[in-house]
Structure 1
Amino acid sequence: MFKGILTPVITVFDDRGKFDFEGNTAVINRLIEHGMHGLLFLGSIGEFFALTMEEKKEFIHFAVQTVDKRTPVLIGAGGTVPEEVAALTQFAEQAGADGVVVVSPYYFSLNAETIYHYYASLARSTSLPIMLYNFPDRTGSDLTPALVLRLATEFSNIVAIKDTVDNISHTRKLIQTVKEHRPEFTVLSGFDEYLIPNLMAGGDGVLCGLTNIAPDLFDGLLKAYRAQDFAKVAAAQAKIAILMNLYEVTNPFIAGIKGAVKLSGVPISTAVKAPAAAITEQQLEAVRAILAKAGKE
């Protein structure tokens, strides 16, 4: 259902920490104009962890109305309280979103049976398409191929997974295990540089942060791959490899990504929500140097 190049969209705030709707509109329109096949709001890079439930609901309404069906809208509905996850999913459904992305339970390292019941309960509470979100570095638990297959075969509205594991073999095993029984199930990589390995393994694309900065680069890479123009594939892949260094400039990486978006010509503030810290001038210069090296300044 969700295939190609999808963006987990940054959330733009003003210097008071309030939503900058004009800035967010500029970001959304740019991504759509560059051919993104879906937009995820309130994901990790969208700072869902720092927003109240009321803020999330306000932004969901804004996002759905602003996109206006020009591309699929996904909402990050993950959290630590199952009742709130279900409530936010139902709110997103009523607001007109096309699906939700739900990270597996985090804080405790949970076993497969516990995680199964978490997603099973959510799937029964909504008819909205659900994309599983596997991010073991943040959750302490892995969505194994066997667990994903069980969920995908038992619940028709569990339709996809974002696999944010820095190991393409993990994603390959998901593809081979799940698609044999449910071919339409979508497997996306969460790491930017794994788009091509994902596609070559039989996967469906990528949902990654660098598309905020260089949507044209990823759009061109996918088109080159489909056209079997491997010289262009190699050139684009080399630029992405350089841009991957942006994730290491700030901790967490969100301020660095926002800095890169601004330097790419989008008039936004680089403000982030606490506990993240604002980008420094030195860090902004490091971002500028990476963009220049990749030919994206």
Structure 2
Amino acid sequence: MIEGIFPPVVTPFKEDESIDEERFASFLEFLVKRKVSGLFLLGTNGEGLSLENEEKIRIMEIAVETVKGKVPVIAGTGAITTRETIKLSKEAERIGVDAIHVIVPYYYPLSREGILRHYAKVSQEVDLPILIYYIPSRTGNKIDVKMLCELAKLRNIIGIKDSSKDVTWFYNAIMAVKKENPDFVFLGGSDALIYTHLMLGGNGAVSAIANAFPEIVIELYREFRAGNLAKAKEIQDRILIIRQILKKYPYLSGIKAALKLRGIDMGVLRSPLVFLNEDQLQCLREELKAVGVI
């Protein structure tokens, strides 16, 4: 069972935008020592779509070598075509990751048949457990609850990471799928909704804030599982404030900037994404100090 808090691990870059392998390994150790439940590689916050396949392979290799089985490593292998998805998924299998997450193919509008055939082919060709990565605001393609029930019956498809932020969809999906497949994993994909997703029966969350402040997000999860709902809700409120602060800044820059302010410099974002300028960094420092996280 995959459950708990999984940071969508950020990818560190040098000034020339090449991957900083040493810093990446060190950051993985930082996360594992803080008791994250596992690592979610090559997602949105990891700038996975900005990486070439050779770089993705290297990220997976470093993670498996560094973690040494201490926590599950879930790697993103989804691509715009089924052929490319299978190719990278087989590399993930060779490397030895514990599971893969496969994004709903993007850019081209897809029919119901196209989505079902895509996941069916990947599940037939790859032996690793597969999580569907559902983020319709980015892919432009939606999965309805009936379709998810069909996907949940496919070989090796064990769960979904839901970044739709649609609470009604999540609730309907978890009720429908778990009726037939109680072990199917539901991971929330929004820091604003961790408490809500857990209340509705979710297994955990992929939390961007858990990159920079893993202790806070893990505390929420532990308090919730211990039945301390008021305390868990109080921590969720704090996480929401942190999220609101980070969202003020250029896309994906907030987490790397917060890490830098914690003394963990993960470098720049890969162009055309942009990092904070000095004035913005100072403003962020003051805002995070005000809420007591740095």
Change (3 A) 1:21 1:233: same
Structure 2 SS opposite 1:188: strand
The letter for the 1-side match of 2:268 is A
The letter for the 2-side match of 1:263 is L
Match of residue 81 from structure 1: 81
Identity %: 32
How many angstroms does 1:247 deviate by?
Answer: 4.3
Consecutive unaligned residues in structure 1, runs of 5 or more: none
Match of residue 142 from structure 1: 142
How many angstroms does 1:289 deviate by?
Answer: 3.1
Structure 1 SS opposite 2:205: strand
Match of residue 197 from structure 1: 196
Match of residue 275 from structure 1: 272
Task: Output the CA distance in 2 between the equivalents of 1:133 and 1:290.
Answer: 32
| TM norm structure 2 | 0.96
Deviation digits for residues 91-143 of structure 1, max 9, x if unmatched?
00110100111110100222222111111111111010000011010011112
Match of 1:286 among 278, 283, 286: 283
How many angstroms does 1:217 deviate by?
Answer: 0.6
How many angstroms does 1:159 deviate by?
Answer: 0.3
Task: Output the CA distance in 1 between the equivalents of 2:289 and 2:15.
Answer: 27
| TM norm structure 1 | 0.95
The answer (yes or no) to whether the contact 1:249–1:283 under 8 Å persists in 2 is no
Alignment of 1:41-56 (within 5 A): 41-56=41-56
RMSD (CA atoms): 1.4
Alignment of 1:203-282 (within 5 A): 203-252=202-251, 254-266=252-264, 268-282=265-279
The answer (yes or no) to whether the contact 1:255–1:270 under 8 Å persists in 2 is no
How many angstroms does 1:246 deviate by?
Answer: 4.1
Task: Output the CA distance in 2 between the equivalents of 1:124 and 1:104.
Answer: 17
The letter for the 2-side match of 1:286 is C
Task: Output the CA distance in 2 between the equivalents of 1:246 and 1:16.
Answer: 28
Structure 2 SS opposite 1:159: strand
Task: Output the CA distance in 2 between the equivalents of 1:290 and 1:165.
Answer: 28
How many angstroms does 1:81 deviate by?
Answer: 2.6
Q: Does 1:91 align with 2:88?
A: no
Task: Output the CA distance in 1 between the equivalents of 2:118 and 2:87.
Answer: 14
Task: Output the CA distance in 1 between the equivalents of 2:266 and 2:212.
Answer: 14
How many angstroms does 1:283 deviate by?
Answer: 2.2
